[in-house]
Amino acid sequence: MAYFILLGPPGCGKGTQARRLSQSMGLIQVSTGDILRQAIADKTKTGLQAAEVMERGDLVSDEIVTALIAEKLENIGEQGVIFDGYPRTIPQAESLDQLLEKCGRAIDCALEMTVNEAILIERISGRFTCADCNEGYHDKFKPTKVDGQCDLCSGQEFKRRADDNAESVKQRLLEYHQKTTAIISYYQDRKLLRRVDGMASMDQVYADLESIIKTYC
């Protein structure tokens, strides 16, 4: 049973890789966004607290996030875990360490997906999806085979995230660096950090991550 953290800037493909590793290696994927939505849907005590905060338009506190993580860890048995994009701040990292210590566990490795930010901005700002089946496309790298028609379902309605534009992506990257640079150092100083080239093909990134994870499992 091993515990991993997957780090990387917005749009680098963390979620996709975490899901793939979860499916192929039997790891439990822990994404704060996913468990927050599930807790709210299930109306758990912490989920109701989070819903109340969000209804006020406030950010969910680190304390609530930590409680959600604790609830999730209570129900995973002896399986390994991959944390997807969490922790994001030093206080979150310290809270996670304390939480795992109580369970007799610890982070084995933090995996950072490194990127070329100029290319990443281009990748993100050209993304769009089919409004019917959610198949993903890109203006440059993956256009539809027939202009204006989804390759999978033949739908003709498409959508783009409002923040998938160059300026918004630059701002998200700036915020990521301001909050997460310290996290990289936190795990590097403890000799837990390993890096993979996040600009390689999706299959190659997966293979590199899998190779590292197998050394701990």
Task: Give catalytic status of residue 160 as yes or no.
Answer: no
Out of 14, 20, 72, 194, pick the active-site residue.
Answer: 14
Task: Give catalytic status of residue 161 as yes or no.
Answer: yes
Out of 142, 160, 172, 179, pick the active-site residue.
Answer: 172
Out of 20, 72, 88, 123, pick the active-site residue.
Answer: 88
Task: Give catalytic status of residue 123 as yes or no.
Answer: no
Dihedral (CA of 133, 204, 114, 215) sign: positive
Out of 19, 105, 127, 160, pick the active-site residue.
Answer: 127
Block residue for tokens 């749009």 = 11
Reported as half-sphere exposure (CB side, CA atoms, 13 A), residue 189 has a value of: 7
58 phi-psi bin (left φ>0, alpha ψ -120 to 50, beta other)? beta
Out of 37, 161, 190, 214, pick the active-site residue.
Answer: 161
Among 140, 137, 162, 160, which residue's Cα sits nearest to residue 149? 137
67 phi-psi bin (left φ>0, alpha ψ -120 to 50, beta other)? alpha
Task: Give catalytic status of residue 105 as yes or no.
Answer: no
Block residue for tokens 């293979």 = 207
- The catalytic residues are 14, 88, 127, 161, 172
